[in-house]
Amino acid sequence: MGDSQYSFSLTTFSPSGKLVQIEHALTAVGSGQTSLGIKAANGVVIATEKKLPSILVDEASVQKIQCLTPNIGVVYSGMGPDFRVLVRKSRKQAEQYHRLYKEPIPVTQLVRETAAVMQEFTQSGGVRPFGVSLLVAGYDDNGPQLYQVDPSGSYFSWKASAMGKNVSNAKTFLEKRYTDDMELDDAVHTAILTLKEGFEGQISGKNIEIGIIGADKKFRVLTPAEIEDYLAEVE
């Protein structure tokens, strides 16, 4: 394709108006493990597959869902190490906001600043874009919120979204199942069912991760035992 001549330099537009490196970054995201998020009336749930490369890996040490502040959590699809860098930067930005204003950072502001960091890496010399898309779930004074942030730095607010492998099936499934007045528990069930759709092998509390935040504004990751309980309810 004519575009390939322009895929060496990140900071150069191709004739078709694209930044090819960002397209490639989105491909990296698209081949990552499925993750999804659902915004309920009284909270938000985010979930991801946790497929490990071998049974010898200690799965308790792998944490794909992280919290950025006590009331904001995040999950990703794509490259794990890039995700860790972004989590670190976002946590620092949230704390800097708190130091200045003694207020917890609103979800929109944190998403905006994280997206600005990701955009920086698409317009600077000698760096490459992040190979992750993030799903940020938070609960602040404006209620429950769910945002997706892409490698280009664009962000969108979603009622429900999915990323990674199997994204089109997952999104179709979510479109059918989503209702505006869903409660948090229903949303968790729907999230599990959506993950199950494209899951290879037997789903269990050890190979998926779920994070929830409710009206108590405290983000937490569910334990494998709690996930097993939800799985039993779904069967």
Partner 1 sequence: MSIFEYNGSALVAMVGKNCFAIASDRRLGVQLQTIATDFQRISKIHDRLFLGLSGLATDAQTLYQRLLFRHKLYQLREERDMKPETFANLVSALLYEKRFGPYFCQPVIAGLGDEDKPFICTMDSIGAKELAKDFVVAGTASESLYGACESMFKEDMEPEELFETVSQALLSSVDRDCLSGWGGHVYVVTPTEVKERILKGRMD
Cβ at position 10, least distance to partner 1 in Å: 28
The residue within the footprint of partner 1, chosen from 102, 125, 176, 181 (CB under 8 A), is 102
Number of Cβ within 10 Å of residue 63's Cβ equals: 12
Contact of 48 with 64, CB cutoff 8 Å: yes
Check the CA dihedral 196-221-105-115 and report its sign. negative
Cα–Cα distance measured from residue 36 to residue 49, given in angstroms and rounded to the nearest whole number: 9
Q: Which is nearer to partner 1, 108 or 157 (CB)?
A: 108
Q: Which is nearer to partner 1, 109 or 123 (CB)?
A: 109
> Among residues 127, 125, 126, 132, which one has the least CA distance to residue 153?
132
Cβ at position 8, least distance to partner 1 in Å: 36
Cβ at position 206, least distance to partner 1 in Å: 41
Q: How far is CA 19 from CA 16, 41, 86, in A?
A: 9, 38, 21
Binding part of the chain for partner 1, among 5-13, 29-37, 95-103, 185-193 by CB under 8 A, reads: 95-103
Instruction: Tell me: does residue 100 bind partner 1 (CB under 8 A).
Output: yes
Q: Which is nearer to partner 1, 110 or 222 (CB)?
A: 110
Cβ at position 148, least distance to partner 1 in Å: 20
Binding map of partner 1 across residues 103-122, x = CB under 8 A, - = no contact: x--x-xx--x----------
Binders of partner 1: how many residues, by CB under 8 A?
Answer: 9
88-100 burial by CB neighbour count: b if 16+ within 10 A, else e?
eebbebbeebeee
Instruction: Tell me: does residue 50 bind partner 1 (CB under 8 A).
Output: no
Number of Cβ within 10 Å of residue 157's Cβ equals: 14
Binding site for partner 1 (CB under 8 A): 99-103, 106, 108-109, 112
